[in-house]
């Protein structure tokens, strides 16, 4: 699998994955993500992620991390942003928590 994502598109993909992990992408979550990535990246990646299943999403995320150098500081920042998406709507359900824990594990 070859992913030609920019770093911003990867960030959009990961954050949208978390936002949609409970099958409900709230307005607050979308606003938060748009504060981190540009609208063009958001829209392009949004179209892609709604067609991917959970397995495909995880494989794409793992593949991007294998193919691209991500600094420890970059990983720490992304984990922080993932956590912020989870809390953007004021609550974290079990599906969001599971997505966060899995992403945290593969980012470390």
Residue 97 inside a domain? The answer is yes
For 65-91, the pLDDT digits (tens) are 989 988 899 999 999 999 999 999 888
Has residue 34 got a pLDDT over 80? yes
Total structural domains in the chain? 1
Distances (CA, A) of 37 to 16, 55, 78, 97: 11, 24, 12, 22
Q: CATH no. for residue 31?
A: 1.10.3680
Distance CA 54, CA 76 (A): 23
Model's pTM, two decimal places?
0.93
Residue 1 inside a domain? The answer is no
Residue 2 inside a domain? The answer is no
């Amino acid at each position: 699998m070859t992913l030609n994502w920019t770093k911003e598109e990867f960030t959009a993909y990961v954050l949208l994955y978390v936002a949609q992990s409970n099958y409900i992408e709230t307005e607050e979550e979308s606003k938060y993500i748009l504060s981190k990535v540009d609208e063009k990246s958001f829209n392009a990646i949004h179209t892609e992620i709604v067609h991917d299943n959970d397995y495909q999403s995880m494989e794409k995320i793992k593949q991007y991390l294998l193919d691209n150098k991500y600094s420890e500081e970059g990983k720490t920042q992304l984990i922080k942003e993932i956590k912020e998406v989870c809390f953007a709507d004021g609550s974290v359900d079990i599906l969001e928590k599971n997505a966060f824990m899995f992403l945290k594990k593969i980012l470390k």
